Chain A
Amino acid sequence: MSVSPTLIAQLAILGFVFFMLLNSAAIMVYVERKVAAKIQQRMGPTLVGPYGMLQPLADIIKLMMKEDLRPKAADAILFTLAPIIAATTAFTAFAVVPFGAATTFWGLLPEPISLQIADINVAVLFVFAITSMGVYGIVLAGWSSNSKYSLLGALRSSAQMISYELSYGLALASVLLLAGSLSLRDIVNAQSGAWLGVIPRWFIFLQPVSFFIFMTAGIAETNRAPFDFPEAEQELVAGYHTEYSSMSFAMFFMAEYINMVTVSAVATDLFLGGWHGPFLPESFGWIWFLLKVSAILFFYVWMRWTLPRYRYDQLMQFGWKALLPLSVVNLLVTAAGVLYFGA
């Protein structure tokens, strides 16, 4: 039985993405701590390895060595299932995100394959569906822990998800109108080239409002500051994962960072032209992709250590009374524009 090189390449991409997503969580923990330290005029981790760069590894080893506790009153099945759901959905959502142009790996393959795990024609909706499944991990964790802090965190999380998913979806819809496709690869390819030879043809310049809504809703969906109510320390101890320890806690932690990476990658594909950019040939487009994703992730961290947390009712008011009407109006204007000027 012969195995085709394309299959091997696809499996290699799969393994690579899995490994990099795992790594990204560790890297993000380091970046988060270092950037936070710089913002607060501290040093951050310095002892483990050069510049403290092995600190995440030490953290992982520490977490693995800890005892996995479960409260006596917890629902055993759901308590075990919740972190698994959170981590699985976080990994699954990235499966349809393209991160580079089609390539033959410098002539190793007979025909070019695309740098993504699965190119499905409803990729945008797939990401949307999997992210909305992700909240089940959080809500189940909160409910099954049988603890009031966890439950409150979970309820806040679900309220936040239901409120912000509407704006998130409408922001996506206006980009879909411009691109005329639901495939992330087609959307990225619709953004190649430049206007007047200088301004790159990215959707962020056509849809700045939509980008703002997408990022705001994305921050709310990933439960990051200033919208980190599900785990607001001062009010809820640690929110939905109060009762978790050891690797089950690590899974929630990892899922949060991977979700951030996914939102940033999707935002890059939708608004920032994916792997298209000046100066580099198409085959090195993934460098642009990496740079853009890193920039958004840095922005995420910067936000967290700059802005204070909102109040919970402010969050709901903002979601329903400001963000949702804004995104509806934006969608109507976009639709009218597409109708008038042609797609």
Chain B
Amino acid sequence: MAHNLVFFYGFAALAVVSTLLVIAQPNPIYSVLLLILSFVALAGLYVMLDAPFVAVTQIIVYAGAIMVLFLFVVMLLNVSHEHAVADNQAASDGGGPTVRWFGAILAGVMAVELVWALNRSRSVGAALAGAERETAWSVEEIGRILFTRYGFAFEATSVLILVAMVGSIALAGRHLSGKKAWRR
């Protein structure tokens, strides 16, 4: 049991430290990479919960997603330090303090939500014990639950992502609409 604890604290510390560093250090490229490190640490925690499927899915989904984020940073924000951009932005908005207050309120709401979710998940974890927990993590069972009990949430999320995709294409293609933008 002892080595399990060592692994748990190792992965947990790695996740917490790398997540803090994502926002604490100034270079956006390093932030992106630390983000993936924190996801890998989370995947390690999932493996320790006997949920290899969730762990692997997490890596597959985020490896691709963060790669896109990385390219975004390289292609669009080619800056090595974030300070300059952030300060300019606040000055041009003309509302530094307002933005900060808004951010603080959002952070507070997030913290309350997190506490609520943690309290709730404890009761769920207690409900699933022993053998039932084993089957609950199998790929088949996750698929079944996803398409039955959480079917609506699943479909709603996919529609949401589709809306975001259409929106981003519309925004990106706005300047080109008069020309032969859709030639290919």
Q: Is B67 in contact with A125, judged by CB distance below 8 angstroms?
A: no
Secondary structure class of chain A's binding surface, majority of residues:
helix
Q: Is B60 in contact with A129, judged by CB distance below 8 angstroms?
A: yes
CA distance A113 to B67 in the complex (A): 38
Q: Which of B53, B57, B67, B74 contacts A136 (CB 8 A)?
A: B67
CA distance A133 to B63 in the complex (A): 6
CA distance A215 to B71 in the complex (A): 27
Count contacts on B: residues with CB < 8 A to the other chain: 19
Q: Is A161 in contact with B139, judged by CB distance below 8 angstroms?
A: no
In the complex formed, the residue of B with least CB distance to A155 is B71
Q: Is B67 in contact with A139, judged by CB distance below 8 angstroms?
A: yes
Interface string of A124-143 (1 = CB under 8 A from B): 01101110110110011001
Q: Is A125 in contact with B63, judged by CB distance below 8 angstroms?
A: no
Q: How far is the CB of B69 from chain A (nearest CB, A)?
A: 11
Interface string of A181-193 (1 = CB under 8 A from B): 0100000000000
Q: Is B36 in contact with A129, judged by CB distance below 8 angstroms?
A: no
CA distance A243 to B52 in the complex (A): 38
The answer to whether A122 and B56 touch (CB under 8 A), given A143-B74, A182-B139, is yes
Q: Which of B36, B52, B59, B184 contacts A120 (CB 8 A)?
A: B52
Query: Among A125, A155, A165, A317, which residue has the most Cβ atoms of chain B within 10 A?
Result: A125
Q: How far is the CB of B152 from chain A (nearest CB, A)?
A: 23
Rank and list the top 9 A-B pairs by shortest CB-CB distance, nearest first. Answer: A129-B59, A125-B56, A132-B63, A129-B60, A129-B56, A122-B52, A122-B53, A122-B56, A133-B63
Q: Which residues of B contact A (CB under 8 A)?
A: 29, 33, 36, 52-53, 56-57, 59-60, 63-64, 67-68, 70-71, 74-75, 139, 184
- Beyond A135-B67, A158-B70, 10 extra complex contacts between A and B, CB < 8 Å: A78-B33, A120-B52, A122-B56, A128-B56, A128-B60, A143-B29, A151-B74, A158-B71, A165-B64, A182-B139
